[in-house]
Amino acid sequence: MAQAEGRGVAVVTGGSAGLGRAIVRELADRGWDVAVLARGRDGVDAAVAEVQAAGRRGLGVSVDVSDNDAVERAADEVERGLGPIDLWVNNVMSGAISTFLDTSADDFDRATAVTYLGAVNGTRAALRRMRARDRGHIIQIGSALAHRGIPLQAAYCGAKHAVHGFTDSVVSELTHEGSQVAVSIVDMPALNTTQFGWVKSDFPHHPQPVPPIYQPEVGARAVADVADKPRRRTWVGESTVGLILGTRVAGRFLDWYLAKNAWEGQFAPDSTPSGAAPNLYEPVPGDHGAHGAFDDRARSGSIQTWAIRHRTPLYAAAAAAASGVVAGAVSLLRRR
């Protein structure tokens, strides 16, 4: 039986596990053919199998996104195998839980190369193909921590901040050209992903995202919604909104608050080490799926992201309510 016509071809970097894996599943469920780019072959193959099980075409490429030439070759392989790339999601990240001075220069450089230069290399590969066709969409996976750094994650916070500045420059250039290629940033809250089981850490406690913690599917749905209807910036989760707005109006207070609370907040209270090898330099063998170790405390939904998804009917309802108030006021005045 012939396959139903799909939405187009999407690339997800870091699509073998964590948020990336959830994004791959969500896009496939919405009709996208998906190419999965990541280092670990086991996870890549498993993610591709899920795409195919959803009735879409899948393709997996084992690649380190910090290597620009390798990313270019991967993009060529995707277009040969699936066709022109319509959507590119830069999701890969890596890091370490450590104070800045206790983080080796090699570890800091590696985390920056993967998280920041990985997004740069992915954007370059996507734009080289999309710009000539004058269509396409690039989504950068950002973070609330791009707006407010926290202790023990200087490399990650710095890299995510750099992604914002880099993306603003690219958008300005595309706007100057009158290009139809869209570029979006989706800033994520703390998510229950596999990253916290294999992040490099010298601390005895199991690392955790700073609560509140959301399931990766919350972020994946937001990314797929932006793919459906491109918008320049999207904040995911009430905590992301609070942190970003709080930084704008009470930056000095947040310096004090995060210094006091974000340190201990990055370690699970049960003091159990993860036992997994770090993935900073090499992938962790096996298929690790999307979820981390915090299913028991992670939120599966967000009122804020629900409101974003339903903003059109909400705007219409608000406009109707406002019109009703105005009509009522006019009627009242006429009676007088």
Kindly report the backbone phi and psi dihedral angles of residue 190, in degrees, each rounded to the nearest multiple of 5, phi listed first.
-70, 125
Among the listed residues 105, 77, 106, 74, the one whose alpha carbon sits nearest the alpha carbon of residue 90: 74
* Residues labelled catalytic: 156, 160
CA 263 – CA 282 distance, rounded (Å): 27
Distance from the Cα of residue 26 to its chain's centroid? 13
Note whether 23 and 218 are within 8 A (CB). no
Which residues are within 8 A (CB) of 93 and not within 5 positions of it... i.e. 6 or more apart? 14, 114, 115, 118, 141, 156, 159, 160, 195
C-beta atoms surrounding 69 within 10 Å: 8
**What residues contact 329, with CB distance under 8 A and at least 6 apart?**
none
| Distances, alpha carbon 296 to alpha carbons 241, 267, 291, 305, in Å | 24, 15, 11, 21
Task: Indicate the helix (H) or strand (E) that contains 58.
Answer: strand 58-62
Contact status, residue 224 vs residue 139, Cβ threshold 8 Å: no
The answer to whether 39 touches 65, Cβ cutoff 8 Å, is no
Start-end of H helices in 234-275? 238-249, 251-261
